[in-house]
Amino acid sequence: MARKKSKMTLAAKNAVAGYLFILPFIIGFIMFLVIPLFQSLRMSVSEVTINPLAGGFTMDFVKFANFNEALNIDPQFKVLLIENLRTMILDLPATLIFSFFVALLLNQSFKGRGFVRAIFFMPVILSSGVIVGLEFNNALLKDMKDVIADTSNASSITTVLQDMLVAESSQAGDMFQYVFDLIDSVYDIAIRSGIQIIIFLSGLQTISVSMFEAAKIEGCTAWECFWKITLPMVSSLILVNIIYTIIDFFCRSDNEVMEYISQTMIGSLQYDLSAAMAWIYFVCCMAIIGIISLIISKKVYYYE
């Protein structure tokens, strides 16, 4: 009696085809991310000595000496880390509010809406590595910035108003200073808000129009519709944008902490100390994401 051949189901065939398509990514992920990740973790708890005769370098286990040096002995790393975390916490609300406000405007019906959306997506293209390098290395832009700084009128109405509102050692003065700092960094906020605008806009477009129509029939105002319908419906995307904004901030090309870690590794050839700094930075990033996600996830509304 001939044995029947086992036939794969359609779902199994689709699964095999899917794994074949992502196989190059899996191989690259293991070779270029997972293996270096464990190697850097091993370096962070070892003393790395460059030795070409032994295959490049040797590692001797020293427990947490590198972490202690990074946090308690190195004079700059902890200062840069704290300042970087403080800047991220202050910039996070501004980036989310700006991107959500722009998404609300772009979700309205008006002529040329597609062109305006393309303009607001331009920061994503302009924030690429090549464009950022041209911006920071362009002598013309640098000279223009210096000329503007030299010829600016320090006694202008805006400067006088800022000096009047920003009082030393007062909470109100600190708040006004925070607002003025945000105004000065509006260009950077716009550059970093391209992806967040798209995510918010996609969420706004999934809200059914019938919900707003029913609310208006019940007598709800536009303000009430925003707080009762719009904001709860996009609350899950707020969490997504928070996580994306934090990761994007920690991985920016002009991040001082990452530059210092690279300088320690490449300039000073301290692979062990730089690996410990990188893992401290990574743990701080994951801890902030975990804490914020735990808090925000309790307020997220999922529509079924």
Q: Which residue has the higher pLDDT, 51 or 48?
A: 48
pLDDT for the residue 25: 92
pLDDT for the residue 27: 92
Rounded to the nearest integer, the mean pLDDT of the chain is: 78
Question: If we measure between CA atoms, which residue out of 302, 157, 134, 283 comes closest to residue 234?
Answer: 302
Q: How far apart are CA 67 and CA 55, in angstroms?
A: 25
C-alpha distances in Å from residue 272, one per residue of 97, 98, 261: 40, 40, 11
Give the lowest-confidence range in 67-71, 168-172, 281-285, 300-304. Answer: 168-172
**Predicted confidence (pLDDT) at residue 16 exceeds the cutoff of 80:** yes
Q: What are the residues facing 58 on neighbouring strands?
A: 49
Q: How many CB atoms lie within 10 A of CB 201?
A: 22
The stretch 38-48 carries a mean pLDDT of 88
Contact call for residues 175 and 220 (beta carbons, < 8 A): no
Q: How far apart are CA 93 and CA 91, in angstroms?
A: 6
pLDDT for the residue 1: 46
Amino acid (one-letter) located at 118:
A
What architecture (CATH level 2) is domain 64-127+192-304?
Orthogonal Bundle (1.10)
Both structure tokens of 80: 């840069």
**pLDDT tens, 84-138?**
888 888 888 888 888 888 888 888 877 777 777 777 676 666 655 545 555 555 5
Q: Is 41 exposed, middle or buried (0-12, 13-18, 19+ CB in 10 A)?
A: middle
Provide CB contacts within 8 A for 165, sequence distance 6+: 172, 173, 176
Report domain extents, the chain.
64-127+192-304, 135-190
Report the chain's C-alpha Rg in angstroms: 26
Whole-model pTM?
0.72
